[in-house]
A and B are shown apart, each in its own frame.
Chain A
Amino acid sequence: MSEIRTVDARGLSCPQPAMLTRKALQQSDKGTVEVLVDSGTACENVSRLAGKAGWAVMVEEQPDRGCRIVLKK
Chain B
Amino acid sequence: MSSISRFLTSRWGPIITGIVVGILAPVLVKLGNPGNMGVCVVCFSRDIAGALGLHRAGVVQYIRPEIIGFVLGALIAAFLFREFKPRTGSAPLVRFLLGMFATFGALVFLGCPWRAYLRLAGGDGNAIFGILGLTAGIGLGIVFLRSGYSLGRSRPAPRAVGWVMPALMVLLLVLLIAAPQFGRDAGGNPTGPIFFSTTGPGSQHAPLFISLVAGLFIGFLAQRSRFCTVGAVRDAILLRDFRLLSGVIALLVAAFVTNMILGQFQPGFEKQPIAHANSLWNFGGMVLAGLAFTLAGGCPGRQLFLAGEGDADSGLFIMGMFVGAGFAHIYNMASSAAGPGVFGPAIVIAGLIICVLFGLTMRDAKA
Contacts and interface: CB of A to CB of B under 8 A. Distances in A.
B153 A19 contact: no
Interface string B136-155: 00000000010000111111
B151 A44 contact: no
Contacts of B81: 40
B82 A11 contact: no
Interface string A44-59: 1100110000000000
A62 B243 CA distance: 26
Contact of B239 (A15, A40, A44): A15
Contacts, number: 58
A19 B151 CA distance: 14
Contacts of B234: 14-15
B9 A40 contact: yes
- How big is the A interface, by class? 20 to 34
Contact of B226 (A19, A44, A65): A44
Contacts of B90: 11-13
Interface string B148-165: 001111111000000000
6 A-B pairs with the lowest CB-CB distances in the bound complex, closest first: A11-B153, A13-B297, A11-B154, A14-B297, A41-B226, A40-B83
B85 interface: yes
B243 A39 contact: no
A22 interface: yes
Give the interface size bracket for B toward A.
20 to 34
B87 A65 contact: no
Interface of B: 9, 81-83, 85, 87, 89-90, 145, 150-156, 226, 228, 231, 234-235, 238-239, 241, 243, 296-298, 364
B239 A12 contact: no
Contacts of A18: 235, 239, 241
Contacts of B154: 11, 13
B300 to A, nearest CB: 14
Contacts of B82: 65
Contacts of B87: 11, 38
A41 B231 CA distance: 12
Contact of A19 (B238, B296, B297, B298): B238
B9 A44 contact: yes
B364 A12 contact: yes
B364 A22 contact: no
Nearest to A12: B153
Nearest to B150: A16
A11 B366 CA distance: 12
